[in-house]
Structures are given as C-alpha cells and as structure tokens.
C-alpha cells in the first residue's frame, strides 16, 4: 500500500504525513511537494508536485493507492484548476481513493466565502470523479492564532471573531489524526466531516491561554 500526501512541505501536510508514518510505517507513505528540499527531513520518499502541473502529478501518483489532497494557497478561482490537476491525474493513473482537506463555512457573506465557494467546487469535482473519496471541512487552525499573540499585543487588538462571535478552532495535529483515519478506514468513504472543536469567543480563548 502507498499513500501520498500533497503539499507535504507545509505544516498541515507534514502533520498528516507524520501521523501516517506512525500508523503504517514510512515505506507506505509518500510525500508530494512543489519544493522537495523542504520535505526531505520527513524521511519518506518525496516526489515533485506543483499543483499547476498536471504532468508533475501524472508522475508523482504512479503506484499510489490513495492520495490526500491538501487545498492550495493560490487565489480561490485558481485553486479549482490546480486541484483538478491532482484529481484528473489520480483518475488517469490508477489511484483508488482521494481525501480532500476542505474548509467549514458559508459560501456567502463572510471574509472566507470566496475560499469556501472554491473549495465546495473541488468537493463536487471529487464526488463525481469516480474515485472513492472522503472530505474533511477544517475549522480555523489554532496554531497561527497563538503564534500571532505578540502581534496582537503590539496592535492592541485582535481582528477575529468579534464580541460574541465564536471560532470553532482545531489544531493541525488533530487534523493529522483525523485525516489518517479517513485515509485508512473504508468506513469513511463517501463521508464529509466538519473537523472542528467546540466554538469559543476570543475572550474565552484569552482565558484558556493565560
Ligand atoms: N483552516 C485554517 O485556519 C487555514 C489557515 C491557513 C491555511 N489553510 C489552508 O490549509 C492549507 C495548508 O495549510 P498549512 O498550514 O499547511 O500552510 P503552509 O504551512 O503555509 O503550507 C502551504 C503548503 O502549500 C504548498 N503550496 C502552495 N502552492 C502550491 C502549489 N502551486 N503546488 C503545490 N504546493 C503548493 C506549499 O508548498 P511550498 O513548500 O513549495 O511553498 C506548502 O507545502 C493551505 O494551503 C490553505 O488552503 C487553512
């Protein structure tokens, strides 16, 4: 069995790959990244994969049974085509299952809506791909918020969910666990999960951090 994780040089991709290695061993995990030198430390086979290049993924997905597609970082409309490069290459090259890291949220009226809309299109593309699939909709990662605390203190404010507005945070390591289960277990096939923690206000977050 070979399971590939895209964007493995990033924080989420590497968290998922590390958890996969714990579960099934490094010989069964393969990392795909635009920048291979940033992922060598993971100790798994690394292959080249820029989302803009269908050819990269035709090569990178050779011999792969399941692929974890981490959503891209480009502007939302561009991501749809990039994600299709991975989905189409998976279909073409005998991959059986695709798992996608999407996002929770509304398609209208929030700052994140353009990203949510674009991710929903990728979800649809995956659902009609003919591959086995599973989709996670990630909440906001807690780690960046903690890393920004010094900046918040300097700015004297936090521009986030205001007043009674609540964030359903999650952490990348929790997501690593969740996606590992979704990749390995057949029972998750055809499921969409909201991968979120209990929603809290910024005041509650400040209380927890103290
Ligand atoms: N829910 C949230 O709070 C939240 C917050 C931030 C991001 N996100 C989403 O979650 C994803 C992963 O986040 P992260 O924390 O792992 O971000 P990160 O640490 O900044 O990593 C981003 C990854 O995307 C890769 N990438 C960017 N453009 C690419 C391309 N054209 N082809 C292939 N790979 C490309 C980067 O590759 P290089 O190493 O080559 O640059 C890197 O591996 C993001 O891409 C974004 O869609 C969610």
Tens of pLDDT, residue by residue over 25-59, are: 999 999 999 999 999 999 999 999 999 999 999 99
Is there a domain that residue 202 lies in? no
Each of the 210 residues of the chain gets a pLDDT tens digit; together they read: 999 999 999 999 999 999 999 999 999 999 999 999 999 999 999 999 999 999 999 999 999 999 999 999 999 999 999 999 999 999 999 999 999 999 999 999 888 899 999 999 999 999 999 999 999 999 999 998 888 888 888 988 777 777 888 889 999 999 999 999 999 989 999 999 999 999 999 889 888 877
What DSSP element (H or E) covers 195? strand 192-195
| Contacting residues for 86 by C-beta, under 8 A, at least 6 apart | 6, 49, 51, 57, 61, 67, 69, 98
What is the position in ligand 1's atom list of the atom closest to the CA of 50? 32
Residue 124's domain spans which residues?
3-138+171-196
Where b means 16+ CB within 10 Å and e means fewer, 150-168 reads eeeeeeeebeebeeeeebb
Number of domains present in the structure of the chain: 1
Is there a domain that residue 18 lies in? yes
Is there a domain that residue 203 lies in? no
Ligand 1 centroid from CA 100, angstroms: 13
Is there a domain that residue 151 lies in? no
Secondary structure (H, E, C), 119-165: HHHHHHHHHCCCCEEEEEEECCEHHHHHHCHHHHHHHCCCCCCCCCC
Is there a domain that residue 46 lies in? yes
Is there a domain that residue 205 lies in? no
CATH number at residue 46: 3.40.50.720
Ligand 1 centroid from CA 11, angstroms: 7
Is there a domain that residue 210 lies in? no
The answer, yes or no, to whether any atom of ligand 1 lies below 6 A from the CB of 51, is yes
Mutate to test the pocket of ligand 1, among 73, 86, 101, 104 (most ligand atoms within 8 A of CB): 73
pTM, two decimal places? 0.95
């Amino acid at each position: 069995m070979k399971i590939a994780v895209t964007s493995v040089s990033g924080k989420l991709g590497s968290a998922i790959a590390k958890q996969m290695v714990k579960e099934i061993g490094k010989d069964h995990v393969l990392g795909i990244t635009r920048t291979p030198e940033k992922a060598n430390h993971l100790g798994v086979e690394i292959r080249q994969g820029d989302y803009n290049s269908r050819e990269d993924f035709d090569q990178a997905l050779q011999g792969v049974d399941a692929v974890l597609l981490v959503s891209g970082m480009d502007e939302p409309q561009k991501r749809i085509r990039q994600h299709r490069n991975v989905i189409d290459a998976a279909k073409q090259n005998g991959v059986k299952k695709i798992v996608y890291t999407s996002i929770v949220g509304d398609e209208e009226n929030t700052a994140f809506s353009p990203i949510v809309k674009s991710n929903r299109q990728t979800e649809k593309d995956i659902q009609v791909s003919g591959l086995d699939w599973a989709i996670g909709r990630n909440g906001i990662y807690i780690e960046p918020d903690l890393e920004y605390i010094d900046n918040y203190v300097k700015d004297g404010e936090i521009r986030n969910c205001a007043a009674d507005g609540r964030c359903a945070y999650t952490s990348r390591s929790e997501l690593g666990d969740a996606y590992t289960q979704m990749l390995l277990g057949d029972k998750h096939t055809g499921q969409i999960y909201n991968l979120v923690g209990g929603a809290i206000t910024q005041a509650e977050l400040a209380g927890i951090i103290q």
